[in-house]
A and B are shown apart, each in its own frame.
Chain A
Amino acid sequence: MSVATRFRSIAGWQITLGVALLSLGFLIAAQLRSETPRVSYATNERVPLVETAQGLQTQQDALKQRLLDLRASIQGVETQGQGSAAAVQQLDDQLRQARIEAGLTALQGPGLVLQLRDSTNVVPPGGNPTDYLVSARDIRTVVEELWLSGAEAVSVNGERVTSATAIIDIGGSVLLNAAYLSPPYQISAIGPSDLFDQVNGSAGFRDFIRMRVEAFGLQVGFAEPKDVLIPAYAGTINLRYSRPVVPAPSPGP
C-alpha cells in the first residue's frame, strides 16, 4: 500500500482528534511553563483581592496624574507672575530650582537603562525558588551602584527614586514609593557619559553579577539610549512629624 493510499484510509475524525490532542498537549505545557517559578494561587478569596488591588492601582495612576497636572498649573501661574515684584520673581526661581532638586520635575539627558529579569533556570531540588526571582534587595543594589557611579536621577519602572523612597518585597514582586511594580524591572538613570563604564567597573556591581546573575541566572540587560527620561515624583511631600528649622536671627550690631 502506497503512503498516499494509507493516508487516504485514515478517517477524518482521527486527523481532527490528532490535531486536537496535539493542541491540548501544547496548551498544557504552556500553562505549566507559565506557572513556574512564580507560583500561581487560585483560591476564591484571592479574586476580590486582585480586583481591589487592580482598582486601587488604576485610582493611584489617576491621582498621580491629577497631582502632576496641578503642580504644572502652579508652575504655570508662577511663570505668568514673572515681571512682578523682584522678591516674587526671586522666590519663583528658588522654588523652580528646589522642585528640580527634589525630583518634582521630570528630567531628561544622557544615561542608561538597566533591565532586570527573573531567572529562567530550573530550581534544583532543595533550592529556594525566591533566589531565582529579582528581589527588592537586587533593585536597591543596582540603584545604589548607579548613585555611587555618579547618577543624578533614577527611576524604576517609571517611579522616581527620591529622598523618601523605600523599595520592599511583596511576594515575588516589589513596592516602590508604595506603588506596585512587576517584573521585568527597568532601572533608568541619568548621569555622566561614562556611567555605564563606571557601573560596570564597580566592585559592588561585579559582586552583584557574581552572586545573583552567575549564581542564580537573573538576567541583566543594558541600553544606552540617546536620551533617558526620568519622570517627576508624583507623591506626597507633606511633612507631618517634622518642620524646617528656623534659623536663629543674627545678633544685632
Chain B
Amino acid sequence: MRKRNSQLTIAAVTMLLGLLVVVQLRSQSIGTGLEALSAQNLTVLVANLNTRNDQLRTEIATTERELADLQGARSRGESSVDQLRLDLARVRAWTGLDAVTGTGVRVTVDGMIAGAGVQDLLNELHNAGAEALAVADTRVVPGTVVAGPPGALSVENTALSDGFEITALGNPATLTGSLTRAGGIVAQLAATYPQVQITVLPVDVVEIPGTTRDLLPAHGTPRL
C-alpha cells in the first residue's frame, strides 16, 4: 500500500514537472517579445504590419515595372533617360534633397519648449505618415535634430525663436487627427509645457524646401 502511494506521488510530481518544462520551453521559443504584448497592443501591431506590408507590395510592383521598363529600353537599344529622370526626382524628393509641395499641415509652436518636445512632435508626424517635414524652413533629414533646453533651441546650428512653425506634407486629416486626438502628442505636450500653445492647421498647399545639409557619407563607404 505504502509502495503504491509513493508511486502515485512520483507520477503526480513528474507530470507537473513535464507540464512546467513544456510551459517554460514554449514561453522561451516565442522569444520575440510578443508574449509581453496585450491583445490591444497586438491588434495595433498587426494593423501596423499589414500597412507596411501593403506599402511594400506597392513599392515592389512599382520597382518591378521600373526594372521591366529599364530592361526593355536597354534591350531595344533605346535610352532610358525619361525613366531615370523620374526615378531620380522621386528619390531626391523623398530623401529631402529637393523641394516638395502638396497638401499637409502647418503646426505653430508658441512658447518655450525643450528640443525633446519638438522631436516628439516630429516623430508623431512621421508616424502619421508625413512625407516631408520642415522646422522653420529647415528640411528634416537624417541627422537633423532640434536640440536645446526651453528658450535656447537650435536646428542645424541655427537658433530657433520661441515661436516657430513646423510644416508637414501628407494627408491633412490624418496628420491633424493624429496630433490633436485625446491623449495625443499635442495634449501630452500641453501637460508638460502648459505655457506653450500648439495649433495645427490643415492646408491645401504647402511647400517645403530641400535640405542644405550634405548627406553624402564622409566616413562610410557604400556596400553595393
- Residues in B with CB closer than 8 Å to A168 are 123, 127
With A111-B219, A175-B45, A235-B59 in contact, do A38 and B24 touch (Cβ < 8 Å)? no
B101 within 8 A of A: yes
One of B24, B99, B224 near A27 (C-beta < 8 A): B24
Central interface residue in A24, A85, A236, by most chain B CB within 10 Å: A236
With A84-B79, A94-B88, A104-B91 in contact, do A164 and B222 touch (Cβ < 8 Å)? no
- Residues in A with CB closer than 8 Å to B66 are 74
Q: How far does the alpha carbon of A70 sit from the alpha carbon of B74 in the complex, in Å?
A: 17
CB-based A-B contact count at 8 angstroms: 321
- Residues in A with CB closer than 8 Å to B71 are 77
Q: Shortest beta-carbon distance, B29 to chain A, in Å?
A: 11
- Give the nearest-CB partner of B36 in chain A: A38
Q: Is the CB of B84 within 8 A of A241?
A: no
B21 within 8 A of A: yes
One of A24, A31, A52, A147 near B23 (C-beta < 8 A): A31
One of A13, A23, A162, A236 near B17 (C-beta < 8 A): A23
Tally of B interface residues using CB under 8 Å: 105
With A56-B46, A164-B94 in contact, do A190 and B80 touch (Cβ < 8 Å)? no
One of B20, B124, B218 near A152 (C-beta < 8 A): B218
Q: How far does the alpha carbon of A11 sit from the alpha carbon of B10 in the complex, in Å?
A: 13
Q: How far does the alpha carbon of A23 sit from the alpha carbon of B34 in the complex, in Å?
A: 27
- Residues in B with CB closer than 8 Å to A23 are 17
Q: Please encode chain A, from 149 to 182, with 1 for each CB lying within 8 Å of some chain B CB and 0 for all others.
A: 0011110000001111111101111010111101
- Residues in B with CB closer than 8 Å to A244 are 89-90, 92-93, 98-100
With A99-B91, A164-B94 in contact, do A180 and B224 touch (Cβ < 8 Å)? no
Stretch of B142-150, B158-166, B191-199 lying at the A interface: B142-150
Q: Is the CB of B56 within 8 A of A172?
A: no
- Residues in B with CB closer than 8 Å to A183 are 33
**Contact residues of B between 168 and 214, Cβ < 8 Å to A:** 169-171, 207-208
- Residues in A with CB closer than 8 Å to B76 are none
- Residues in A with CB closer than 8 Å to B17 are 20, 23-24, 27
A120 within 8 A of B: no
Stretch of A1-9, A43-51, A212-220 lying at the B interface: A43-51
Q: How far does the alpha carbon of A80 sit from the alpha carbon of B3 in the complex, in Å?
A: 83
The 5 closest A-B pairs by CB, nearest first: A182-B33, A109-B220, A242-B102, A166-B127, A178-B52
14 pairs across A/B with beta carbons < 8 Å? A13-B3, A34-B28, A46-B39, A49-B39, A52-B46, A60-B56, A63-B57, A74-B63, A77-B71, A88-B80, A165-B126, A180-B49, A239-B102, A240-B171
